[in-house]
Amino acid sequence: RQGNQNPEVNIYRYVTESTFDAYLYQTVENKQKFISQVMTSRTPLRSCDDVDESVLSYAEVKALCIGDSRIKEKMELDIDVNKLKVLEASFKDQRYALQDKLRKSLPASISATEHKIELLEQDVATSERTKGADFQMTVMGHKFGLDGDGKPRKQEAGEALLAAAQTFGNNQGTIGEYRGFKMSFYTDQAFGKVYLNLQGATTHNVELGTSASGNLTRIENAINGIPQRLEEVRGQLANYHSQVKATEEELQKEFPYAEELKEKSARLAQLNTELTMQERNQSPVQEPPQPAPDEPEVEISEEPPKLENPFEVRANPEIAEAVNFRGVPEQNDKVHFGISETKSPLSEQTIRDMKLVETPVIYLNPRTDGQQYKGEILHVDKEQGYCVQLSGKHSLFVHSLEKLERVPEVGENLKLSYPHDEGHKATITIQEAQTRRRCRK
């Protein structure tokens, strides 16, 4: 630091057990993990969340100061759940890759290999038919067979082959024939090498050298090696079939840590709810306002008045006040007396008593005609058949489980998309938290 005149200094870090120090060092550790995710390629994630977005509430700070074990459990669960979600994302990516491989790449490879085997079998028959026959090669229209003494003219044929390669080079078409295979040249311009293509049912490449007799030996070995090449391709086909079987077995497996992720996510959501409830319970309770002494009280029956014409509310102020009607309806307005069109045991007070959020705005029957709702699932009641979703800070939407494609879990951040067709159920999509960073000056 500025002003320091000591060549070496000692740095001491003091920590106190069961204090806020544990959370501070936990935050530093999470920051290091966040940086490691970006700087290394060992994680399958394509994005990561900045830990600056994780802040403690006042209830959590108080619980941490007094040594509440739930805070430590919450921090450990945060890490475990994040790790399990990384593993789940990697498992799904691998599953998608295996499905694509099973549907596309493996069938294409099997089909191409089977066709290649058919062609090689024809070339094997050609090589077996000409094996042991007298030497006979045609190069640029000149035939080289046996000389007057009955010896093969291999040296002359090899020299003619080299001369043709130097003269004609690449893309000259067929320049000759040997043992039932047509011959042509191919020149690799990048490496300066010349190859001889032996064309039968399929093509066999032979790299040519500078020796005339050596080139003929290479050509002979290439033709005699076609049966071995056929066996290698058959081995490839067997390997592809083994991959199909192994892929099908792998796709039958489920995520091995699914139950652990479900349990820890539920426990984490429970801890978050408990800490939030503790904070609310410790806040001062406000008593409901009492009516003024001279203000007449209106008796409200448990059941709303039955009217043949709902617009009679305008002519009966007492009824309007009894049903808490605001304003005067118009002829085209649809008037409800605080009761849903579909009978439900729920009420706004039932949701308020859960104390899921402060000053909630409750929608017992949200629109389902092509609407979308995004937010965290705060409560699920399978017996009553409903769940509560938080949208924004205060809006609570109550969804019927019968209208959803699956039962959501508490703590999931979801997008519920209702179709325009009432005969279909709403689709559920898991929402990923976007990375946001804060700039500090």
- State pLDDT tens for residues 297-316: 444 444 444 444 444 444 44
Question: Percent of the chain having pLDDT more than 70?
Answer: 73
As a whole number, mean pLDDT of residues 165-184 equals 82
Point out the least confidently predicted range of 66-70, 215-219, 224-228: 66-70
> Which H or E run includes 422?
none
For the segment 381-385, the average pLDDT, to the nearest whole number, is: 87
Q: Give the residue-averaged pLDDT of 371-390.
A: 90
Predicted confidence band of residue 7 (pLDDT cuts 50, 70, 90): confident
Q: What is the pLDDT of residue 108?
A: 94
Residue 226 has pLDDT above 50, yes or no: yes
From the list 333, 390, 338, 342, the residue with the least C-alpha distance to 368 is 342
CA nearest neighbour of 428 among 394, 390, 396, 401:
401
Beta strand pairing call for 395-400 and 361-363: parallel
- Ranking 14-28, 50-64, 105-119, 246-260 by mean pLDDT, the lowest is 50-64
Mean pLDDT of 336-358: 65
The tokens 């083994």 sit on which residue?
A: 242
Confidence of residue 384 (pLDDT cuts 50, 70, 90): confident
Phi-psi region at 380: left, alpha or beta (left = phi > 0; alpha = psi -120 to 50): beta
State residue 370's pLDDT score. 83
Q: Give the pLDDT of residue 319.
A: 45
Work out the mean pLDDT of the chain and round it to a whole number: 78
408 pLDDT above the threshold of 70: yes
Query: Is pLDDT larger for residue 142 or for residue 19?
Result: 142
**The token pair that represents 201 in the structure block:** 């049912």
- Between 347 and 339, where is the model more confident? 347
Q: Provide the token pair at 243.
A: 């991959």
Give the per-residue pLDDT at 328.
Answer: 43
What's the pLDDT score for residue 334? Answer: 41
Q: For residue 165, what are the β-bridge partners?
A: none
Alpha helices by DSSP H, 101-136: 106-130
Answer yes or no: is pLDDT of 169 > 70.
no
| Residue-wise pLDDT tens digits, 121-149 | 999 999 999 888 889 999 988 999 988 88
Q: Which of 219, 213, 218, 187 is nearest to 200 (CA)?
A: 219
For residue range 233-287, list pLDDT tens digits in order.
999 999 999 999 999 999 998 999 999 999 999 999 998 888 777 666 665 545 5
- Residue 72 to residue 63: CA distance in whole angstroms: 10
CB contact set of 349 (below 8 Å; sequence gap of 6+): none
Cα distances from 50 to residues 87, 117, 276, 436, in angstroms, run 19, 55, 23, 7
Q: Stretch 284-291: mean pLDDT, rounded?
A: 54
Q: Contact at 8 Å (CB) between 153 and 142?
A: no
CB 166 within 8 A of CB 192: no
Q: Pick from 152, 155, 151: which is nearest to 163 by CA?
A: 155
Higher-pLDDT residue of 150, 178: 178
Separation CA 164–CA 215 (nearest Å): 13
Q: Which two tokens stand for residue 89?
A: 């994302």
Q: What is the arithmetic mean of pLDDT over 212-227?
A: 92
User: Tell me, what's the pLDDT at 16?
Assistant: 80
Residue 15 CB neighbour total at 10 angstroms: 10
In angstroms, the CA 8 to CA 230 distance is 73
Residue with tokens 């919450």: 74
Closest CA to 219 of 266, 176, 169, 257: 176
pLDDT at 13: 84
C-alpha distances out from residue 359 to 86, 125, 275, 356, 366, Å: 35, 86, 18, 9, 19
358 versus 180: the higher-pLDDT residue is 180
Q: With bands split at pLDDT 50, 70 and 90, how would you rate the model's confidence at 37?
A: low
Q: Rounded distance, CA 388 to CA 414, Å?
A: 12
> What pLDDT is recorded for position 360?
87
DSSP 8-state assignment for residue 310 = G
